[in-house]
Amino acid sequence: MTIFSPRRAGAFACATFALLTVPAAHAAETGPATPDAIVAASPAGDWQAIPADELLVMTLAPAKDGSSRQIVIQLVPSPYSQGWVDNIRKLAKAHWWDGTSVYRVVDNWVTQWGDAEETKPLPDSLRDIPESEYITPLGKAISLSCDKAETPQALCDSYAPVAQIIDGWPLASDGTSRWPVHCYGSVGVARNLSPDTGSGAELYTVIGHAPRQLDRNVAVVGRVIEGMTYLSTLPRGKGPAGTYADPAMRVPIRSVRLASQLPEADRPAFEFMTDDSDSFAHYFALRAARHDDFYHVPAHGVDVCNVPVPIRARKTGASAE
């Protein structure tokens, strides 16, 4: 769990106070500010487009009622987990996942997909990734301060000295390296026992409480940003390790493509709120200390996984930076 120390509560109280008092006339009309209200009122300049080659589009077979099921995954940007991300791009370009399936669903744990029979040949160009790449070394050691008011978005963490949202991603650090962490919706690379690290062909997404003990033991390569319910609401597997004992229960995967592979008119487009913006600072403060019509006891604490970076569909015609 990620928490604030008591010494930092004042800093967040000040941030929240500033947020609530600056637009006083508006607040009087609409009531206390909420995280959703901050997102809705944020200016366009506080958002950054996600490049098309960082979006993975997975199309499942239609549901029983005939409705389509499309999932969009945002891949972790450089410099994190790039060996696996490069492999994933190669697999998508080779159409490797076409005809595979979602074959494992474990309650409060993960939904997993890939080749359930493990018989499909992998592209020769895939690279074996060493365990050392679970983390990304920093250029130089940094001083970690998770309990000082001047760094209010650096969180004291139970699994690392510091956790923080950086460039739109929840990351942890020990002062010499950083790594992406497991939150709800995170996408990771399934593997066998160490020293195997997985190729990226077998992927999973977290569908329960954040399993942070997996950090630095399994590669985090992305997060589901659209269509999560198509993976989180599937029937739970009853076979070994939560696999579907009956192969007929497996959910066929029609295709997996990078958005950059699709015709421009068919490409999904998304943007995220930048974490160095005033809007995000206000959003972050309110996630930590709600005081509105529903919340009357502010927590003055928040987990890094409980500050989901706002992501929204981008208006057609806007270009990625």
Domain with residue 66: its CATH number is 2.40.100.10
Averaged pLDDT of the chain: 89
Q: Is 273 exposed, middle or buried (0-12, 13-18, 19+ CB in 10 A)?
A: buried
The whole-angstrom separation of Cα 98 and Cα 102 is 11
pTM of the model: 0.89
d(CA 42, CA 18): 15
Residue 8 lies in a domain: no
Q: How confident is the model at residue 24 (pLDDT cuts 50, 70, 90)?
A: very low
pLDDT beyond 60 at 298 = yes
Residue 238 has pLDDT above 90, yes or no: yes
Q: Is residue 168 part of a domain?
A: no
Residue 4 within any structural domain of the chain: no
Alpha helices in 106-245 (DSSP H): 229-232
154-180 residue pLDDT tens: 898 999 999 999 999 999 999 999 999
Q: Is residue 13 part of a domain?
A: no
d(CA 57, CA 55): 6
Q: What is the model's pLDDT at position 32?
A: 73
Q: Which two tokens stand for residue 102?
A: 């979602």
Within-domain flag for 188: yes
Which residues are paired to 285 by β-bridges? none
Residue 279 has pLDDT above 90, yes or no: yes
For residue 111, is it within any domain?
yes
| pLDDT at residue 293, as a whole number | 87
Q: How many whole angstroms separate alpha carbon 127 and alpha carbon 266? A: 30
What CA–CA distance (Å, rounded) separates 215 from 58?
A: 25
Would the pLDDT of 244 be above 50? yes
Looking at the structure of the chain, the number of domains it has is 1
Least confident of 48-62, 106-120, 201-215, 306-320: 306-320
pLDDT (mean) for 53-63: 99
Give the structural domain span for 198.
51-138+176-268
Would you say residue 29 lies in a domain? Answer: no
Q: How far apart are CA 275 and CA 165, in angstroms?
A: 7
Q: Tell me the average pLDDT across 217-229.
A: 99
Residue 319, pLDDT score:
52
Residue 76 lies in a domain: yes
